[in-house]
């Protein structure tokens, strides 16, 4: 068989009817030449020579602009595609400065250890060629104790992550005197990763960093890089709390790229079930690799990576040694050495196929691959472009293929190519002044340095909060200073990445005398996944939960072999406390504000594997959870609903279906995880709310009420709430309020364009759950909501 080039492969594919039937869009992005500028005159001749010898004869225009601004002391954010030489935008000014002033120091922050390692290699290489005495170290949890002292004293460039800065460096700043006193540059790569809760924490870590720098008399310039999002400049200024120049025009040449959106065929029209995305992914990947086209496959979970790798290995390992690396997996749990070997194998084309999680999405150098297959929408357009960018970094032809799963997000993206291909609609949001987050960091900051009267930290009244902490006994005020006055180490009390630092451990008690911890579940999920009598799934094994002990934060389980799994039933009751703003002019209320959310897991369903048959119910007795947060809501006045041609139960189903799709689409617009926002239906008083009970829905006033309240729909104005799933809110609902038109439009497109007859998991939710007329009714309700 003669091997096809990628170009030939593409033209053959475009002639195949069975392939093209599933293709929703093909975009040919033509190659673009580079725009170059000369090195600025101030660049050290040796440094310039090293770069020129590396083949960088001139700078891309955005690089030249970036290094000049940085040189002038301006903080910047660079937003250009993958492989456009962002690294040089910070390495050049940093190395230049250290060559001029050997005392100068720089701090590099990467969101993951793997990225930090990779960047270390990059800058190490440059320094080696410079033959300069510049020391670069990574400093993270893996750094051996005996190396730490030398790193603190001698490192010119310290490469670390925000968690380490937060808990390991800032609270010990006196040991880092040399770094903080001479800190000239702070580099923050992958700025878009710092959003939501992580970003809100990170902003506060930066506030603390700047405060410590001020103590030592330094005022560093910030150099940031970000993937393409809707608001990179605004986001950078919100994180850094200073003016930031935005550089978003790439001068790098780009290869021609073919981008295909592919939707697997429907196999059960009634239930709206599509072929698994894994099937076409496997077939296409095999075909490409057989033709000698180096291919990367991105899967959305570790499990999928392993499954796909197995498929590909089985296919290619025939007659080859078992340990062949011709195709391989790549994900977080792999040991660093193995990962380095895989990265090298990709660069020298010994590895022709790799299946990866998003661990390979960020800037790790794996050379120029030709094809990138995305098994499922990665959750944001920014990630999609980054993953697509791993193929064809500078020259030639490349292919990116997104294969959709049946989730509403995936379906919306492939069925609305214009939404995807036009400018990024995704916003990064942070709320660093969320009181609980702010309070944690005020404590950490006070530990680092006493607060002085008149100091500022965040947007709230600092003195009030300091007095409050004094009242609490963790601060002690002497004259005009508040000193840390407790034994604890406050940075250890907060995790920057998770909502609630509490975890529940799952203990397997199957073998007497050999109890072992098999998993950790975060506090909030514990209520729904490891409640007493639940069936917990782990590595495709089933465990029966004997007891969830909340006080000990432990769930005791034993292995079972059941033919069912459990699905928790919850109710959520939302009460409006304070409406901040209202969209004017319509009868339909669109508002946002502060709400109280009470939720409780009341029971569970037993669902049979494969058939999804409902086998029975059980009760769960867990405390309710009570939270204040911010929400955006839509209220439809009763009289308007009365005009619809459906009964009250159907109206509730329609609202539930609409809420389902709004929830998914809101997560998409916010680049948020589905768990970061939540939804509920009720009325604004909190007296009425919709509750799922067994297999019907009720509107009820009391958590214990049965379905006798069903007829009461007339008594209230139904409201759909979308709220931040974090006490105090993270800023998501403000944005949903601002952009509610776009959100409603997207929901209309999603539901209208979905080919299922009565609703499916891709639009309003599975028919069996939302009822037979949910889809129609949802569209009618949308009509009301959007009526001008």
Which of residues 497 and 638 has its CB atom nearest to another protein in the complex?
497
List the one residue from 490, 657, 759, 765 that touches another protein (CB under 8 A). 490
CB of 186 to another protein, least distance (A): 20
User: What residues from 140 to 179 belong to the interface with another protein (CB under 8 A)?
Assistant: 171-175, 177
Candidates 345, 450, 654, 682; binder of another protein (CB under 8 A) is 450
Minimum CB separation from another protein for residue 715, in Å? 22
Query: Of 33, 45, 473, 639, which one interacts with another protein (CB under 8 A)?
Result: 473
Contact call for residue 493 and another protein (CB under 8 A): yes
The window from 13-21, 407-415, 458-466, 742-750 that contacts another protein (CB under 8 A) reads 458-466
Which of 281, 381, 446, 713 is the binder for another protein (CB under 8 A)?
446
Q: Three-state SS for 645?
A: coil
Tell me how far apart the terminal alpha carbons of the chain are, to the nearest angstrom.
Answer: 62
Closest by Cα among 362, 316, 422 to 161? 362
Question: Which residues share a beta bridge with 504?
Answer: 521
Interface with another protein, residue 484, by CB under 8 A: yes
487 lies in the binding site for another protein (CB under 8 A) = yes
Contacts of residue 460, Cβ cutoff 8 Å, sequence gap at least 6: 433, 435, 438
Q: How many CA atoms lie within 13 A of 415 on its CB side?
A: 22
Among residues 3 and 456, whose Cβ is nearest to another protein? 456
Q: Is 421 in the site for another protein (CB under 8 A)?
A: no
**Of 246 and 435, which CB lies nearer to another protein in the complex structure?**
435
Question: Max Cα separation, the chain?
Answer: 85
Answer for the pair 354, 327: CB distance below 8 angstroms, yes or no.
yes
692 sits near another protein (criterion: CB under 8 A)? no
Which two three-digit tokens encode residue 656?
Answer: 């539930």
The residue range among 387-395, 464-472, 634-642, 681-689 that interacts with another protein, by the rule CB under 8 A, is 464-472
CB within 8 Å of 257: residues ≥ 6 apart: 28, 29, 388, 391, 392, 397, 398, 399, 400
Q: Which residues pair with 567 in a beta bridge?
A: 605
> Which residue, 404, 413, 354, is CA-closest to 375?
404
Judged by CB under 8 A, which stretch of 44-52, 201-209, 250-258, 440-448 contacts another protein?
A: 440-448
Residue 728 in the binding site for another protein (CB under 8 A): yes
Distance CA 784, CA 655 (A): 12
Instruction: Kindly state the number of chain residues that form the binding site for another protein, as judged by CB under 8 A.
Output: 47
Q: By CB neighbour count within 10 A (0-12 exposed, 13-18 middle, 19+ buried), where does 423 fall?
A: exposed
Binding of residue 448 to another protein (CB under 8 A): yes
Residues with Cβ within 8 Å of 306's Cβ and at least 6 positions away in sequence, in order, are: 329
Kindly state the smallest distance separating residue 163's Cβ from another protein, in Å.
16
Find, among 600, 629, 632, the residue nearest to 722 by Cα.
Answer: 632
Query: Least distance to another protein from the beta carbon of 252, Å?
Result: 43
Report the residue number, 595 or 620, with the smaller CB distance to another protein.
595
Q: Which stretch binds another protein (CB under 8 A): 230-238, 444-452, 534-542, 648-656?
A: 444-452
Torsion angles phi and psi, residue 587, rounded to 5: -75, -30
Taking phi first (over 0 means left), then psi (-120 to 50 degrees means alpha), and beta for anything else, what does residue 92 get?
alpha
From 2, 418, 478, 623, residue interacting with another protein (rule: CB under 8 A): 478
What is the three-state SS of 621-677?
CCCCEEEEEEEEEEECCHHHHHCCCCCHHHHHHHHHHHHHHHHHHHHHHCCCCHHHE
Q: Which one, 66 or 526, has the nearer CB to another protein?
A: 526
Q: Residue 703 Cβ, how far from another protein at the closest point, in Å?
A: 17
Please tell me whether residue 502 binds another protein under the rule CB under 8 A. Answer: yes
Residues that bind another protein (CB under 8 A): 171-175, 177, 435-436, 439, 443, 446-450, 460-461, 464-465, 468, 471-474, 476, 478-479, 481, 483-490, 492-493, 501-502, 577, 594, 596, 626, 628, 727-728
């Amino acid at each position: 068989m003669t091997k096809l080039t990628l170009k030939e492969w593409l033209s053959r594919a475009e002639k195949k009817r069975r392939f093209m039937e599933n293709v929703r869009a093909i975009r040919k992005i033509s190659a673009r030449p580079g725009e170059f500028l000369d090195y600025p005159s101030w660049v050290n001749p040796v440094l310039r020579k090293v770069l020129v010898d590396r083949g960088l004869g001139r700078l891309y225009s955005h690089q030249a602009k970036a290094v000049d601004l940085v040189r002038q002391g301006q903080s910047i954010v660079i937003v250009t595609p993958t492989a456009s030489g962002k690294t040089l935008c910070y390495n050049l000014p940093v190395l230049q400065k250290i060559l001029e002033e050997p005392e100068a120091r720089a701090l590099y922050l990467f969101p993951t250890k793997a990225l930090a390692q990779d960047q270390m290699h990059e800058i190490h290489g440059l320094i080696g060629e410079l033959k300069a005495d510049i020391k670069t170290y990574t400093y993270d949890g893996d750094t051996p104790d005996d190396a730490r002292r030398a790193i603190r004293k001698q490192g010119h460039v310290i490469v670390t992550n925000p968690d380490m800065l937060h808990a390991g460096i800032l609270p010990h700043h006196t040991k880092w005197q040399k770094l903080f006193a001479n800190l000239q540059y702070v580099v923050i790569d992958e700025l878009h990763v710092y959003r939501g809760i992580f970003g809100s924490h990170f902003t506060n870590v930066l506030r603390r960093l700047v405060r410590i720098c001020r103590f030592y008399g330094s005022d560093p310039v910030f150099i940031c890089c970000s993937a393409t999002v809707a608001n990179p400049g605004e986001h950078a200024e919100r994180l850094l709390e200073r003016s930031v120049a935005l550089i978003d025009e790439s001068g790098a040449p780009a290869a021609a790229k073919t981008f295909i959106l592919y939707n697997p065929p429907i196999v059960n029209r009634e239930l709206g079930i599509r072929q698994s995305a894994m099937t076409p992914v496997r077939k296409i990947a095999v075909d490409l690799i057989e033709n000698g086209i180096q291919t990367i496959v991105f899967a959305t979970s570790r499990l999928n990576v392993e499954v796909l790798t197995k498929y590909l290995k089985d296919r290619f390992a025939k007659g080859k040694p078992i340990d062949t690396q011709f195709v391989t997996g790549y994900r977080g749990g792999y040991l660093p050495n193995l990962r380095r070997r895989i990265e090298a194998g990709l660069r020298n084309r010994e590895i022709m196929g790799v299946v990866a999680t998003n661990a390979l999405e960020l800037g790790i150098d794996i050379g120029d691959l030709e094809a990138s297959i995305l098994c499922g929408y990665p959750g944001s357009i920014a990630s999609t472009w980054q993953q697509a960018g791993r193929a064809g970094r500078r020259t030639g032809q490349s292919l990116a293929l997104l294969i959709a799963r049946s989730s509403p997000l995936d379906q919306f993206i492939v069925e609305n190519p214009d939404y995807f291909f036009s400018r990024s609609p995704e916003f990064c949001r942070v709320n660093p002044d969320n009181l609980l987050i702010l309070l944690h960091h005020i404590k950490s900051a006070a530990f680092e340095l006493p607060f002085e009267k008149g100091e500022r930290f965040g947007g709230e009244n600092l003195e009030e909060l300091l007095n409050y902490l004094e009242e609490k006994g963790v601060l002690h005020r002497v004259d005009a200073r508040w000193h840390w006055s407790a034994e604890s180490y406050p940075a250890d009390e907060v995790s920057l990445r998770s909502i609630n630092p509490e975890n529940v451990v799952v203990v397997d008690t199957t073998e007497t005398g050999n109890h072992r911890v098999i998993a950790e579940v975060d506090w909030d999920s514990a209520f729904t996944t490891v409640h007493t009598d639940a069936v917990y799934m782990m590595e495709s094994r089933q465990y029966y939960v004997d007891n969830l002990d909340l006080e000990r934060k432990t769930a005791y389980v034993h292995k079972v072999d059941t033919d069912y799994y459990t699905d928790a039933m919850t109710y959520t009751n939302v009460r409006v406390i304070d409406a901040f703003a209202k969209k004017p002019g319509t009868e339909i209320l669109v508002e946002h504000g502060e709400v109280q959310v009470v939720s409780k897991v009341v029971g569970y369903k037993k669902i049979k594997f494969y058939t999804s048959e409902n086998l029975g119910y059980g009760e769960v007795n867990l405390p309710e959870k009570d939270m204040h947060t911010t929400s955006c809501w839509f209220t439809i006045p009763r009289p308007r609903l009365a005009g619809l041609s459906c009964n009250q139960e159907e109206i509730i189903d329609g609202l539930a279906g609409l809420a389902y799709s709004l929830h998914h689409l809101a997560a998409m617009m916010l680049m948020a995880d589905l768990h970061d926002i939540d939804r509920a239906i009720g009325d604004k008083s909190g007296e009425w709310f919709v509750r799922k009970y067994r297999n019907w829905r009720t509107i009820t006033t009391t958590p214990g009420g049965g379905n006798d309240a069903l007829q009461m729909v007339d008594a209230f104005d139904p409201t759909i709430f979308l709220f931040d799933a974090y006490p105090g809110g993270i800023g998501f609902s403000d944005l949903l309020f601002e952009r509610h038109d776009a959100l409603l439009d997207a929901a209309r497109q999603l539901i209208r364009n979905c080919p299922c007859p009565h609703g499916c998991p891709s639009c309003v939710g599975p028919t069996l759950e939302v009822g037979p007329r949910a889809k129609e009714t949802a569209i009618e309700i949308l009509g009301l909501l959007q009526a001008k």
